[in-house]
A and B are shown apart, each in its own frame.
Chain A
Amino acid sequence: MSNQLEALGLHKAFGTIRAVDGVDLRVPAGQVVGFLGPNGAGKSTTMKLITGFLEPDAGSVRICGDDMLQAPLAAKRHIGYLPEGAPAYPDMTAQEYLSFLAEIRDLAGSVRKQALERVFDLVHLGGVAHQRIETLSKGFKRRVGVAAALLHDPPVLILDEPTDGLDPNQKHEVRNLIRELGAEKTIVLSTHILEEVEAVCGRAIIINRGKVVFDGTPAEMDAKAPATVASNRLDWVFRTLTTTELQTQEIPS
């Protein structure tokens, strides 16, 4: 029970593509995990399995002890999820949208009001609260998505590319926020940016073609590069691990 998030033996295929091919993930409370991998490695699919949007072909997911397949409502209550691209209803304002989510998550009265104030504050959304989401810049849209994930103060956060498309200042802000939240929450975030992992994650997991190819601290990742590599050492490890693995991705017919 010490693991807040426990995903065991996850498999998911789309037709002949094995998007997730035997992923195990055990994350204790207070750990920030950086989920790395090239495009198409299966990061988003793994997150969709963890959050219950997709059902795995095999394997199980437990969030704070609640099984996603057996007790989906209980398991989903523990999760705050930012899907890839931060989707939201374009015709609603940020205020309307977050109020809707608060209501559906059973936050009522003064609790709802406080929750909304808290997330508006955390991601600095105040100025655009009454603007339709479709008119917001990419950075603000992403913040609306992060606010939606934090609204019910969940113990587990699953963030799919939370800093994608943000400018350097916004990235910096989001990283600080994640570092703060990571003190007490369990966070899994996917990213392409390796410095981000060094900056905020206590643990890095690299997946390639649906399989975990590295699992350790950023320091351990760094140590995998030979001393002759002077700069961009994490890049070097990432490239080596995700380009030399040439196992076939197709299921033989």
Chain B
Amino acid sequence: MKAVSTIFRREFASYFNTPLAAVFLVIFLFLCGIFTFQLGGFFERGQADLRPFFNFHPWLYLFLVPAVAMRLWAEERRLGTIELLMTLPVTMRDLVLGKFLAAWAFLAVALAMTFPLWMTVAYLGDPDNGVIVTSYLGSLLMAGAFLAIGSALSALTKNQVIAFVLCVVACFGFLFSGFPVVLDFFRGWMPDFLAEAIASLSFLGHFEAMSKGVVDLRDVLYFTLVMGVFLYINALVLDWKKAA
């Protein structure tokens, strides 16, 4: 596990060694602002909470998380540094975990920088801080799930644009699987329990529960499971590329 922390620290520092971090953080905060104040009617609602802010997170992540995830493995392949990593005496598990955790921590930093919004509502009114905490937790878990999917897809190619597109499409699927349009499509011909199973895969449902202040262990487990499964797939993809 020491290797995980070494890789984590190198990766995490690399975000701040390049303009990537600054550009990403500025865009993230800018979009958070637009969504919350312009589209979300933050002030007009006259309520001291962060619902308009968190409501937009799934859509924000749909494009911003793939932008972080696309480079994870595709960039290593393009630079040739993947050859270096994979000939080090380190297990695939440690490589995958180290890189993933660094990217996730970077997203956590972005999320943490929205803290002034919380201070604003706390100043304007008397928000339910418990709800805000669970919303942040749900948002972070959802970001991690998106990221794990993106990391696995990024291992497939050395082209970051392809990785980005694949990732947006996959994340889109996970978001929309709970929507009536999609469900109606499945309900027509599938047994109900299968359609329900697909609906229960939706990120949206699990995130919404948490953003209402309900921490159900099942929601937490769900996101953790998605991360675990996709990181495992990530390692399998790398192994498969090695033998192909």
Contacts and interface: CB of A to CB of B under 8 A. Distances in A.
Nearest to B243: A55
Contacts, number: 62
Give the size category of B's interface with A.
Answer: 20 to 34
B1 interface: no
A30 interface: no
Contacts of B3: 104
A55 B79 contact: no
Interface in B136-162: none
A90 B79 contact: yes
Given A54-B242, A76-B88, A92 B81 contact: no
B83 A53 contact: yes
A54 B117 CA distance: 49
A46 interface: no
Interface residues of A, number: 29
A83 B80 contact: yes
A51 B87 contact: yes
Interface in B83-106: 83-84, 86-91
Nearest to A72: B89
A106 B87 CA distance: 15
Nearest to B239: A55
Interface string B54-87: 0000000000000000000000000111011011
Nearest to B81: A87
A237 B47 CA distance: 85
Contacts of A73: 89-91
Contacts of A148: 84
Contacts of B2: 106
Interface string B1-29: 01100110010001001100000000000
Contacts of A77: 89
A220 interface: no
Given A89-B10, A148-B84, 12 more contacts: A48-B83, A55-B243, A74-B89, A76-B89, A81-B83, A83-B80, A89-B14, A89-B81, A91-B17, A92-B14, A104-B7, A105-B89
Interface of B: 2-3, 6-7, 10, 14, 17-18, 79-81, 83-84, 86-91, 242-243
Instruction: Sort A-B residue pairs by CB-CB distance and give the 4 closest, nearest first.
Output: A87-B80, A91-B17, A76-B89, A55-B243
